[in-house]
Amino acid sequence: MSGDQDNNDFKELLTKVVGTVRASSALAAQDVEFYGSLDKDIARSVEGLSDELLDMINSIILSIDEHASPIEPGKDQLEGPGWKDYTNFIDNLFEKSDRSIDILNNVRTNQQSGSQFQYLDDMTGAENAGGDRSDKRILKPQLNFKTPVDNSESHPFKPLLTSKPHALKPFEEVMKVIDETDDVPMHYPQPYEYEIDHQDYNDDILLVKEPIQTKPWNDTEAIWIDKPEQVPDLVKDLAKYKELAIDLEHHDFRTYYGIVCLMQISTRDQDYIVDTIALREDLQPLNEVFTDPMVTKVFHGAFMDIIWLQRDLGLYMVSLFDTFHASKALGFPKHSLAYLLQTLANFKTSKKYQLSDWRRRPLSKPLLAYARADTHFLLNIFDQLRNKLIKDNKLATVLKDSREVAKRRFEYSKYRPKINSPNVYNPIDKENPWRTLMYQYNVPLEKEELVEELYNWRDTMARKDDESPRYIMPNQLLISLVAYTPIDANGVVSVNSFITDTVRSNSKQIANLIKSYLDRMKQNGKSISVVVPPVTNGQSGESAIITLSQIKNMAVRYNDLIDKFASQSKGKDNSTITSMEKSKFLGPLLGNDHILHYDDKPRIISKKEIETRSETFIKRMDEFNNIEYTIPAPKEEIPVVSSVLESNIEVHQVGNVHVQPEEKEDMSEVVVLKKVKRDFTKTNKNKSKSNQVDNSDGDEEDLPQIIDYSKEDKVLDSKKATNQSTGRKRKFDPFSQIQEGVRGAKKRRGGTKGKNVSFKR
């Protein structure tokens, strides 16, 4: 009975939760602030509900952590730091709830031992709650490398090998450069490509055997390897086993090509974590084991691991088994390592450390536990996948795919093949990579040259400083520079709310690059589209202030506009264009009295001076916007009626189009209203006569045909209305405004030939 009651309570609670979510979604789709501005009662009600919800949220926070700081009420409270802590609290709360439910219901149990589901957070202690909170900048480890980083790409990538264990082709033969062909530039071969294709796997991989249980997580710890004298002992211990599980942790934000930061290796008995930053040039002895075909190396998703190993450490893999391809061959719904750990090892890892900075030393216990979990259970997963592949007769396919992954070769972008190959990896795999940005951000083709120059400048700076291009200049910042095209240093640092240190320190160089591009476009007679920041008229305060860089940018484009109209109006009587003098608009702004001269002495521009200049500019823009000018329509000879030419009416000529000026209305003229008698009694047969009008002068005048509205179709005819509609009530969709795409621009109505078009700008 109690079970039925609990089930009913659960259904009732679920119904209320679903209703609340739907109501909140519908409310979020509406402009609540707008309705609040129209009705004070609505505003007070919304404010009261907001305070009540905020109190409930703060009570939840304090119930989880009594020392936490509650969220303060305010207009921008959703952007405050308290909400970030709240999301972390809720995430932890959900994880703990999920874990508690699993433990109470005892749903997930280990199939072999009957033990309960394990969680990464359970094993990391209290330090896991804090995670990796250090925000201190890390000294770049590249500065301490024995061999300095070379990003110049002055030659093809040369393998770092100094010897070749387990070779079928001698070391000297594979270290010779291959000459350039029509499709492939000069390059060094993959040293172990022949061995990967021709050496057989260990025979044990072909047998169905009982999976070997993994050592208990709580009873084992990883051995930290960071000294060169530890490497020989590591190689000796690894050589005892027929299977190894291997994984890497990589960093690519503060370096151009990337850095391998950690290598995790697990045997059947022990876990190792190798500091590949400290031992960057001391790990090649591991090739004694890694290239041994009798030792199966188990990876998950080794697509990039193979590249990183040979690029940074000079390590290669023979007899690779990739569990990613195994999961695909078996038709698993997901192919991630987290899914395999959860379904085959009954271990749930955490994604919160996936994007951690693995260069940090020393690593915290949660990060070490996360890294160890990637390989600790992988050999047991390999056993289970191997048995299933053999039963399904799919093992050969997986081994073939694994061989293809192991044969991948790293190459510099400058020496990439002209035809992309899956076996060759290079950081930039496209001939014109900046075009991807243009398509992604909808940049017009006329600005491709500017995008290319900024892209190449960013790439050059990234190589020089050994930083990633996105650290030097994020894509959004690059596109902002293309859109606003600032021509001075102040404009460069004002185009986006986030400016990197490199862009700030090189703002003058970037401004000169953009200015040079604009000058070339002007010399070639090409016009470009520029995004103009909105100018607010009639407003005061900071919202109405525009920067000096924006004023100069608009002034340059105004000069181009005047020159363009002046060149088009040569030899024409077009006083409306020639009367627009530059000095009238730009004189007060660009005169000698208003130019700022900079010398060695620093000068601080007051806020009042900026406001005065801004107000002056806005005033001049208003005057410019109110100027009317005429654009002649396409040339087309229009015959002029002789009766018009013979009359005394003056006719002006604009281009080849004759235009009759408007006649001035004589205000003293007396207007006589004539009485019109209409006869609606006649039949339709005499419509021609009924359209005659009698007046006092006896003149007859044709009138439009009279319509009998009584015989026409009724607009509000109920029958027609029902035929045009389905009669179904349209359901309310709270997400309709969100899902609706951007509307296309309206088509511009074409002008009538032979007719002047006057408009205001």
- Name the token pair of 68: 């936490």
Give the per-residue pLDDT at 134.
44
pLDDT at 197 over 60: yes
Instruction: Please state the rounded mean pLDDT for residues 344-370.
Output: 89
Answer whether 317's CB lies under 8 Å from 306's CB: yes
pLDDT category, 277, cuts 50, 70, 90?
very high
| Peptide bond preceding 362 in cis form (omega within 30 of 0) | yes
Q: Which residue has the higher pLDDT, 709 or 261?
A: 261
- Taking every pair of Cα atoms in the chain, the longest distance, rounded to a whole number of angstroms, is 126
- pLDDT for res 54: 80
The residues with which 245 forms a beta bridge, in sequence order, are 266, 298
Confidence of residue 407 (pLDDT cuts 50, 70, 90): very high
338's tokens: 């987290």
- In 3D, which of 407, 424, 401, 435 has the Cα closest to residue 183? 424
Q: For residues 21 and 578, what is the distance between their CA atoms, to the nearest angstrom?
A: 64
Which residues lie below 8 Å from residue 175, measured CB to CB, with a gap of 6+?
158, 159, 161, 188, 191
CA-nearest of 242, 266, 248, 206 to 398 is 206
Which residues, 6+ apart, have CB-to-CB distance to 279 below 8 Å? 225, 226, 227, 228, 231
Which of residues 111 and 514 earns the better pLDDT score?
514
Output phi, psi for 432, to 5 deg: -125, 80
Q: Would you say residue 135 has pLDDT above 50?
A: no
Alpha helices in 206-313 (DSSP H): 231-238, 287-290, 305-308
User: Facing residues of 628 across strands?
Assistant: 760
pLDDT band at 732 (very low <50, low <70, confident <90, very high): low
CA distance 403 to 322: 9
- Please state the rounded mean pLDDT for residues 366-375: 93
* Cβ pair 360, 283 in contact under 8 A: no
Express each pLDDT in 26-83 by its tens digit. 877 777 778 778 888 888 888 888 888 888 877 877 776 666 667 776 644 554 555 6
Per-residue pLDDT at 27: 75
Give the pair of three-digit tokens for residue 362.
């020393």
pLDDT attached to residue 311: 96
The lowest-confidence range among 377-391, 403-417, 519-533, 727-741 is 727-741
Confidence at residue 535, expressed as pLDDT on a 0 to 100 scale: 44
pLDDT at 422: 87
What pLDDT is stored for residue 668 in this prediction?
Answer: 57
Q: Give the pLDDT confidence of 553-597 residue by residue, as tens digits.
A: 677 667 776 776 666 555 544 444 444 455 444 554 444 444 445
| Range of weakest confidence among 269-273, 302-306, 517-521 | 517-521
- Span 461-485, mean pLDDT? 93
Which of 210, 228, 338, 341 is closest to 275 using CA atoms? 228
Q: Are 549 and 486 in contact (CB under 8 A)?
A: yes
Mean pLDDT (the chain, rounded): 76
Structure tokens at 558: 């105004």
Amino acid at residue number 733: D
pLDDT of residue 578: 44
Inform me whether the pLDDT recorded for 215 exceeds 50: yes
| 704 upstream amide cis, omega within 30 of 0 | no
Tokens read off for 719: 């029958």
> Of 438-442, 563-567, 643-647, 720-724, which gets the smallest average pLDDT?
643-647
CA distance 225 to 277: 11
What single-letter DSSP state applies at residue 408?
-
Element (H, E) at 559: helix 548-568
This prediction's pTM? 0.60
The yes-or-no verdict on residue 388 having pLDDT over 50 is yes
Q: What is the pLDDT of residue 647?
A: 40
Q: Which residues contact 496 (CB under 8 A, 6 or more apart)?
A: 476, 477, 480
Average pLDDT rounded to a whole number, residues 152-175:
94
Mean pLDDT calculated for residue range 613-633: 66
The count of C-alpha atoms lying within 13 angstroms of the C-alpha of 647, restricted to the half-sphere facing its C-beta, is 9
Candidates 261, 284, 285; CA nearest to 273 is 261
Which helix (H) or strand (E) segment holds residue 5: the answer is helix 2-28
Binned at pLDDT 50, 70 and 90, residue 25 comes out as: confident
* Cα(267)–Cα(548) distance, integer angstroms: 66
pLDDT digits (tens, 9 = 90+) for 420-470: 888 999 888 788 899 999 998 999 988 999 999 999 999 999 999 999 999
* Closest C-alpha to 413, from 472, 371, 463: 463
Q: Which amino acid is at 336?
A: S
Q: Which residue has the tokens 């209409």?
A: 678
Q: Choose the weakest-confidence range: 331-335, 418-422, 652-656, 678-682.
A: 652-656
If DSSP states are collapsed to H, E and C, what string results for 266-289? ECCCCEEEEECCCCCCCCHHHHHH
Rounded-to-integer distance, Cα 222 and Cα 262, Å: 13
**pLDDT at 543 exceeding the cut of 50:** no
pLDDT at 686 over 70: no
- C-alpha 530: how far from its chain's center? 22
The model's confidence at residue 381, banded by pLDDT at 50, 70 and 90, is very high
Whole-angstrom Cα distance, residue 498 to residue 247? 35
Q: What is the pLDDT of residue 63?
A: 74
Instruction: Report the pLDDT averaged over residues 262-278.
Output: 97
Tokens 């050999």 sit at which residue? 379
The H or E element containing residue 55 is helix 40-64
* Number of neighbouring beta carbons within 10 Å of residue 263: 25
Fold of domain 434-523: DNA polymerase; domain 1 (1.10.150)
Residue appearing with tokens 């409930």: 56
More confident residue, 637 or 564: 564
Share of the chain above pLDDT 90, in %: 43
| Residue 697 in tokens | 């002068």
Range 150-425 has CATH code 3.30.420.10: yes
Determine the distance from the C-alpha atom of residue 564 to the mean position of all C-alpha atoms in its chain, rounded to a whole number.
Answer: 38
Average pLDDT over residues 463-488: 93
Instruction: Report pLDDT digits (tens) over 663-673.
Output: 555 555 555 55
Q: What is the pLDDT of residues 689-701, one digit of tens each?
A: 444 444 444 444 4
User: What integer is the mean pLDDT of 516-541?
Assistant: 66
Pairing of strands 296-299, 757-760: unpaired
Contacts of 310 (CB under 8 A, 6+ apart): 159, 160, 316, 409, 410
Task: Please give the pLDDT value at position 137.
Answer: 74
Look at residue 399 and tell me whether its pLDDT is greater than 60. Answer: yes
Q: Which residue has the higher pLDDT, 321 or 670?
A: 321
